[in-house]
Structure 1
Amino acid sequence: MAGKITIDTERCKGCGLCVAVCPKNCIVISERSNKTGYYPAQACPDSALHKNDGCTGCAMCAIICPDVVIEVSRDNDAVETIRKSSLLKTK
């Protein structure tokens, strides 16, 4: 099952937790800052070293993100999108 990572780079503060937790190294910290001056995480562009197509859809990045700016879509028969906010249970 392949995954696709989407990161809201304007809201990301570049803490790097998602980079550290990704088992396939599909996320890096950008060399460009966003409008608020942070260097956000970004899904790796295709290159010899990093391939976003290596994403397994585990959603560990979305789960660990403290700012809830990462979504992971899983493509199987139907597209399933995982967000941290959808994983949190409210009482």
Structure 2
Amino acid sequence: MLKAILRQPRKRILKTRYISIDVRKCRGCGKCIAECPNDVLAKVNFFLHNHVHLNNPQNCTGCLACKIACFHQAIT
């Protein structure tokens, strides 16, 4: 049973009501973090993980400043 659970692919998209983050496309450059006026995004601080995550998803107002700043199209 445990092996079957571990074999299932993880869903790597983080969502708010307005944005979705695909961590497979994210390179962790931090431009979206700098542009977000509401402190929604933060960088993952874990070994070998170089991407952003949702720090305060409830603060997202849908301004899409992060999406505009993302050159890797990881935020849609």
In the superposition, the TM-score normalised over structure 2's length comes to: 0.69
Give the Å deviation of 1:32. Answer: 3.2
SS in 1 for 2:18: strand
Overall identity of the aligned pairs, in %: 31
Q: Deviations over 1:32-74 (max 9, x none)?
A: 36xxx55101121xxxxxx211111000100110101102xxx
Structure 1: gaps of 5 or more residues: 45-50, 72-91
1:55-70 alignment runs, 5 A limit:
55-70=60-75
Q: Which has the higher strand share?
A: 1
In the superposition, the TM-score normalised over structure 1's length comes to: 0.59
Superposed CA RMSD: 1.9
Matched pairs, number: 61
- Distance in 2 separating the partners of 1:6 and 1:31: 20
- Distance in 1 separating the partners of 2:66 and 2:17: 12
Greater C-alpha radius of gyration = 2
**4+ long deviations beyond 3 Å:** none
Is the aligned partner of 1:25 residue 2:30?
no
